A and B are shown apart, each in its own frame.
Chain A
Amino acid sequence: MPDTPFKSAVVADGLVKQFGRFAALRGVSGEFEAGKLHVILGDNGAGKTTLLRIIAGLSQPTRGHILVMGTSEVKVAQAQIGYMAHPSMLYDDMNGMENLSYFAGLYGIDPARCRDVIASVHLDPDLERRIGQYSQGMRQRMSLARALLHDPSLLLLDEPFSNVDAHSASEMAGLLARLRDQGKTLFVVTHQPALIESSADEFVWMAMGRIVNRTATLRAGTP
Chain B
Amino acid sequence: MKRGFTILAIVTGLLLAFGFYKALAPLDWPLGTPTEQTMGYVQRIFYYHVSSAWTALVLFAINFVSSIVFLVKRNEKADIVALAAAELGVVFCTVVLVTGPIWARPVWGIWWDPADIRLNSTLALWLIYVSYLVLRRFSTSSKTAVIAAVWAIFGALDVPFVFFSIWFFRTQHPSPVIAQGGSLDPRMWITVLINWAAFLSLAWLVGWTRYRLEVAERKVDEAEALESLLEGSQ
Contact = CB atoms under 8 A, between A and B. Distances in A.
Give yes or no for direct A-B contact (beta carbon below 8 Å): yes
Interface of A: 16-23, 26-27, 59-60, 62, 207-208, 210, 212
B177 to A, nearest CB: 48
Interface of B: 140, 142-143, 221-222, 224-226, 228-229, 232-234
B221 A21 contact: yes
A212 B234 CA distance: 7
Most chain A CB inside 10 Å of its own CB: which residue of B225, B233, B234: B225
B142 A17 contact: yes
B226 A16 contact: yes
24 contacts: A17-B142, A18-B142, A18-B221, A18-B222, A18-B226, A19-B140, A19-B142, A20-B142, A20-B221, A20-B225, A21-B224, A22-B225, A23-B225, A23-B226, A26-B226, A27-B226, A60-B143, A62-B142, A207-B232, A208-B229, A208-B232, A208-B233, A210-B233, A212-B234
B227 to A, nearest CB: 8
Contacts of A208: 229, 232-233
Given A20-B142, A23-B226, A27-B226, 20 more contacts: A16-B226, A17-B142, A18-B142, A18-B221, A18-B226, A20-B225, A21-B224, A21-B225, A22-B225, A23-B225, A26-B225, A26-B228, A59-B142, A60-B143, A62-B142, A207-B232, A207-B234, A208-B232, A208-B233, A212-B234
Most chain A CB inside 10 Å of its own CB: which residue of B142, B221, B222, B232: B142
B216 to A, nearest CB: 14
Contacts of B226: 16, 18, 23, 26-27
B198 to A, nearest CB: 37
A16 B225 CA distance: 10
Contacts of B224: 21
Contacts of A18: 142, 221-222, 225-226
A31 B175 CA distance: 71
Ranked nearest first, the 8 interchain pairs of A and B with the lowest CB-CB distance are A23-B225, A208-B232, A21-B224, A21-B221, A18-B225, A19-B142, A26-B226, A21-B225
Nearest to B221: A21
Most chain B CB inside 10 Å of its own CB: which residue of A19, A20, A26, A207: A20
A207 B231 CA distance: 11
A212 to B, nearest CB: 5
A210 to B, nearest CB: 7
Nearest to B141: A19
A190 B53 CA distance: 58
Nearest to B222: A18
A19 B140 CA distance: 8
A208 B228 CA distance: 9
Nearest to B232: A208
A42 to B, nearest CB: 12
A212 B222 CA distance: 21
A72 to B, nearest CB: 15
Nearest to A59: B142
A143 B225 CA distance: 34
A59 B141 CA distance: 10
A46 to B, nearest CB: 10
A182 B114 CA distance: 71
Contacts of A16: 226
A22 B142 CA distance: 10
Contacts of A212: 234
A18 to B, nearest CB: 5
A59 B143 CA distance: 10
Contacts of A21: 221, 224-225
A22 B226 CA distance: 8
Contacts of A207: 232, 234
A212 B229 CA distance: 13
A37 B226 CA distance: 30
A18 B233 CA distance: 18
Nearest to B144: A20
